[in-house]
Amino acid sequence: MEGALRSIRAALIVMALVAAAAAGAGAFLARFAVRMPPALAELGGPLVLETAQGALALADLKGTVVLLYFGYAHCPDACPAALQTIAAVLDRLPASVRAHGLFVSVDPARDTPRMLARYARFYHPKILAGTISDLARLKQATARFRADFHYDTPDGKPDPQGDYAVDHTSFIYLISPQGRVVNLFDFREDPARIADEAMRWWVHDEMQGGKK
Amino acid sequence: MKRWFVMLAFVLAVQGEAAEAPLVAHDAWVRATPPGVDRSAGYLVLENPSDAPVRVAAAHCEGAARTMLHETVRLPDGREQMRHVQGWDVPPHGKLVLAPGGRHLMLMQLARPLREGDAITCTLLTDRGKLTVRFAVRR
Ligand SMILES: [Cu+2]
């Protein structure tokens, strides 16, 4: 099964190489090459969020490139930097590439779906946002992405009225149109590099018929 | 801890009353606040053209109930953590960079939202006087 997939993929790559050679476009070749870090193979899984528009599953965004980030709205340094990076990536992608940002709050005690919708829109109209209000379910979902968080409160518990920071992993996950986590970026990464990688996966998945 | 900080700020304020810190500030900006958020982070580059180090020990920004010196650091397990620090040294003939994802001024409980295009004033307290800097509000 996997071998068959691999040979189909190899055939597609060969076809693309031929097409590229025919077009004489070296740039096209470079754009097409994708490589998923093997360590990411197990990363990801179902993710269903509560948003201002109702339930949103990561699977609903299949057919688009997704830039996923776990953070919290009261985060003044890392999260705005990450969201600005994501916004810059979205602005760099050609209009033909369907793409979204997805901000998942790990602080549902303070971040309501309504507030998150306004928060995300402030950074970019294509950034969606939501959370999972049940803490146990939130932990389960984030663990699938190996995203980790900890509330800086005396008892380690969140507090709707509290004034606290949340330590959290701060990576930008690149999710291919076929719904796989295909790369992980530091939130300080150059948006041009992420946009380039997003383009490659868009082209790659489109050629494999991943686009709906 | 808190008392120590207040005392230090007071001592520095008295001592630095007349003195202007021998620092040159540039690229100073604060993050515009998104809806529903009353905190922000400030960044700048400080250059020290003098022959002795200058220690930045505290800051106060217009409109913020509290301004803290913070650093975002990556923990060994991968989490990013914001830490409160006691101060930063600007080396002689060197510079100190505050930038997103690292050192920053943390503006807490802002009275008003910070809007892109505006500017606010922050005062940095150092062991060799104070420095008043205009911070542009950016996204
Ligand atoms: Cu901070």
Backbone angles phi and psi of A206, in degrees to 5 = -65, -40
Tokens describing residue B29:
């900006």
**pLDDT at site A37:** 82
Q: Is the pLDDT of residue A3 over 70?
A: no
Scan for tokens 């600007």, then name that residue. Answer: B90
Q: Is the pLDDT of residue B135 over 50?
A: yes
Which of A74, A77, A187 lies nearest to residue B104, judging by beta carbons? A77
pLDDT digits (tens, 9 = 90+) for B38-87: 999 999 999 999 999 999 999 999 999 999 999 999 888 888 888 899 99
**pLDDT at site A7:** 55
**Cross-chain Cβ contact A74/B107 below 8 Å:** no
| Torsion region of B36: left, alpha or beta (phi above 0 gives left; psi -120 to 50 gives alpha) | left
Shortest Cα distance, chain A CAs vs residue B52, angstroms: 30
Instruction: Give the span between the Cα atoms of A32 and A12, in whole angstroms.
Output: 11
What's A38-207's CATH class?
A: alpha beta
Q: Is the pLDDT of residue A48 over 50?
A: yes
| Helix A78-92 / helix A191-207 crossing angle, nearest 10 deg | 50
Q: Is the pLDDT of residue A28 over 70?
A: no
Check: complex ipTM more than 0.90:
no
Question: Which chain B residue has its CA at the smallest distance from A114's CA?
Answer: B36
Shortest Cα distance, chain B CAs vs residue A127, angstroms: 13
Helices (H), chain A: 2-23, 26-32, 78-92, 113-123, 135-144, 191-207
Task: Assess A170–B contact: CB distance below 8 Å, yes or no.
Answer: yes
**pLDDT at site B80:** 87
Interface test with A, best of B33, B70, B72 (most A CBs within 10 A): B72
Shortest Cα distance, chain A CAs vs residue B22, angstroms: 28
Task: Assess B115–A contact: CB distance below 8 Å, yes or no.
Answer: no
A 126-165: CB under 8 A from B: 146, 148-150, 163, 165
Q: Is the pLDDT of residue B16 over 50?
A: no
User: Which CATH architecture fits B2-138?
Assistant: Sandwich (2.60)
**pLDDT at site B11:** 55
**Cross-chain Cβ contact A77/B72 below 8 Å:** yes
Q: Is the pLDDT of residue A212 over 50?
A: no
**Cross-chain Cβ contact B34/A118 below 8 Å:** yes
B126's enclosing H/E stretch is strand B119-126
Which of A81, A115, A167 lies nearest to residue B79, judging by beta carbons? A167
> What does the mean pLDDT of chain B come to?
90
Task: Assess B119–A contact: CB distance below 8 Å, yes or no.
Answer: no
Rounded to the nearest angstrom, the distance between the alpha carbon of B74 and the centre of ligand 1 is: 13
Question: Which chain A residue has its CA at the smallest distance from B101's CA?
Answer: A78
Which of A74, A77, A118 lies nearest to residue B35, judging by beta carbons? A118
Instruction: Give the span between the Cα atoms of B93 and B90, in whole angstroms.
Output: 8
Task: Assess A173–B contact: CB distance below 8 Å, yes or no.
Answer: no
Q: Looking at beta carbons, which residues of chain A come within 8 Å of B79?
A: 148-150, 167-170
**pLDDT at site A210:** 45
Average pLDDT over residues B126-133: 96
> What does the mean pLDDT of chain A come to?
87
Half-sphere exposure of B3 (CA within 13 A, CB side): 0
What is the pLDDT confidence band of residue A33, given thresholds at 50, 70 and 90? confident
Instruction: Give the span between the Cα atoms of B106 and B38, in whole angstroms.
Output: 11
Average pLDDT over residues A143-166: 92
Task: Assess B41–A contact: CB distance below 8 Å, yes or no.
Answer: yes
**Cross-chain Cβ contact B34/A76 below 8 Å:** no
In this structure, how many other beta carbons lie within 10 angstroms of the beta carbon of residue A99?
A: 22
Rounded to the nearest angstrom, the distance between the alpha carbon of A55 and the centre of ligand 1 is: 32
Q: Is the pLDDT of residue B18 over 80?
A: no
In this structure, how many other beta carbons lie within 10 angstroms of the beta carbon of residue B135?
A: 25
Interface test with B, best of A70, A74, A77 (most B CBs within 10 A): A77
